[in-house]
Copies of this chain bind each other. A is one copy, B any other.
């Protein structure tokens, strides 16, 4: 979450409500369950960590609502690192999806290359899972679990093919609003 929020700030400074709207739009129906308060928790923690700063210049001078946050240099580094890394311990569909969105919107990375890197990682894990499954005794619980992992990895690889098709034909549709 923190990475996704920071990545949304990479293109331009914004206030919490706007970030929330961006994330919801990027996630579609899956984003409807997102809690708005989480954005502010995430932003305040990122501010404490020095990844963002608040410039509360928006609105009338007497009513400084709309706290506008901007990425610091450390924040930009963090975003770049997030986009560069693959194969986190928690492979999340939505997280990778947001990564593609942010990369395209902020022109920080090529989505097609991100897809290729992710595919390499998933193939690597698929090999690992197969090997691990072979090492398990037949009928063991762990073997069954590994079978589930394999099936999911295969499904994710098929999804990546769709991602590649979609993002290789897109050039400038990643608008912000």
Interface residue ranges, A against B (CB under 8 Å): 25-31, 33, 89, 93-94, 97, 100-101, 132, 135-136, 139-149, 151-152, 154-156, 158-159, 162-163, 166
B residues near A146, Cβ cutoff 8 Å: 28-30
Interchain residue pairs with CB less than 8 A apart (30)? A25-B142, A27-B142, A28-B132, A28-B136, A28-B142, A30-B142, A30-B145, A30-B146, A30-B149, A31-B142, A33-B89, A93-B145, A93-B148, A93-B152, A94-B145, A97-B141, A97-B145, A97-B148, A100-B141, A101-B141, A147-B159, A148-B155, A148-B156, A148-B162, A148-B163, A151-B155, A151-B158, A152-B152, A152-B155, A154-B155
- Closest CB in chain B relative to A71 CB, distance in Å: 22
**For the complex, would chain A's binding face be called helix, strand, loop or mixed by DSSP majority?**
helix
Would you call B151 and A139 a contact (CB within 8 A)? no
Would you call B152 and A156 a contact (CB within 8 A)? yes
Q: In whole angstroms, how far apart are the Cα atoms of A156 and B158 in the complex?
A: 14
- Closest CB in chain B relative to A122 CB, distance in Å: 12
Q: In whole angstroms, how far apart are the Cα atoms of A156 and B136 in the complex?
A: 21
Q: In whole angstroms, how far apart are the Cα atoms of A125 and B7 in the complex?
A: 30
Would you call A97 and B144 a contact (CB within 8 A)? yes
Would you call A159 and B163 a contact (CB within 8 A)? no
Known: A154-B155, A155-B154, A155-B155. A29 touches B148 (CB 8 A): no
Q: In whole angstroms, how far apart are the Cα atoms of A123 and B155 in the complex?
A: 16
Q: In whole angstroms, how far apart are the Cα atoms of A147 and B143 in the complex?
A: 28
Q: In whole angstroms, how far apart are the Cα atoms of A97 and B141 in the complex?
A: 8
B residues near A149, Cβ cutoff 8 Å: 30, 93
